[in-house]
Structure 1
């Protein structure tokens, strides 16, 4: 998830840090598919691991700050891409979205029960909501992550590598954006967006 508290230029940079490595992965897959169709996904996984690392380093050099969420997601990408590349096992890479989304779902919903609302921790500086409404939002996000994990399992087990690669780039990310937008009416009904002036006065 991108940081909703960032100003517009920073949000644009954050978008490309998230989406840029995925586009490079997709381009690499299409390139390697022409010369090494059986190993194209393995090579593209290696490219994604490298570009995700470079994006993380760029974020640190540019802003001197990297969110814990970005560090975690980059580490998971590099781990699964590296394992897939060095073992030659594509299944490891195919299952990365399943495992990552399941971990997110468990963390978000688990946080509700342990009084550590992860969504509030990530978005509380930008949104004002009552605690019970934060819990509703967190449960919605948790269920969304579980749904994404199930969707990934359905796609990689039943469709071609081409379809999975395309959906990984042009399906999962847009679905996350769409889901985020669908939560705006709930936030507007039960809370409000904080302004930059409020943060500066706090």
Structure 2
């Protein structure tokens, strides 16, 4: 059973680890630490701390609400996988590829649903955004293309720009882009929105 929690607490649990990563990287980016005879730059150390922090906050969120979205579960799995590879191999590139994999995964899943004539986005957002079937199909197409664009943008930035620029993009650019995208869908929500029927 899903339980509601304080919105501020929910936001802290969801975005706290990302902000902590940004702050930690800002303080440790120029540091080098030696563990077991191997040197690790600040980025790798912060990544190693980010993984258990994300697992902890996601676990607390699940304990408090009784529910996690598929996106939250997939994010934790990919963070553990790619973040773990970065720490294990002492190579920051794996962690930088994580957003690319996440957005390609969701774009691909939504695309498969569209090919089957279904909006799998509706399964996730139906309660929050009631839309007509045609609206769901159009929104799903737009979200799939948007996720694909974010994957391309992440690849372009981490491969051509500095680590500091990528960390800023990941912390502020990606969430900001998602917020702006849904803000621009107001016309679609208005055109295809389903009005709730008043109770008798």
TM-score grouping bracket, smaller chain normalisation: 0.7 to 0.9
Greater Cα offset, 17-26 or 107-116: 107-116
Q: Displacement of 1:150 after TM fit?
A: 0.6
Q: What are the superposed Cα offsets for residues 46-100 of structure 1, whole Å, 9 maximum, x if unpaired?
A: 1221111011111122223323321121111121111111111111111111111
Length-normalised TM-score, structure 2: 0.86
- Flag as ranges the 4+ runs of structure 1 deviating above 3 A: 9-14, 192-195
Deviation of 1:114 (Å)? 1.9
Which stretch shows the higher mean deviation, 184-193 or 78-87? 184-193
Alignment-derived partner of residue 23 in structure 1 = 19
2:36 aligned partner: none
Please say which of residues 114-123 and 163-172 is displaced more in the overlay. Answer: 114-123
Larger-gyration structure (1/2): 2
User: Structure 1 residues 193, 54: closer, same or farther in 2, change over 3 A?
Assistant: farther
- Which range is displaced more, 26-35 or 102-111? 26-35
Tell me if the contact between 1:101 and 1:148 (Cα under 8 Å) persists in the aligned partners. Answer: yes
CA change 1:193–1:88 in 2 (3 A) is farther
The residue aligned with 2:134 is: 132
Give the length in aligned residue pairs.
Answer: 193
Alpha carbons 1:127, 1:193 under 8 Å: kept: no
Gaps of 5+ in 1: 1-5
Q: Which residue of 2 aligns with 1:63?
A: 65
Report the aligned-residue RMSD: 2.5
Q: 2:21 aligns to what SS in structure 1?
A: helix
Correspondence for 1:154: 156
Which structure: greater helix fraction?
A: 1
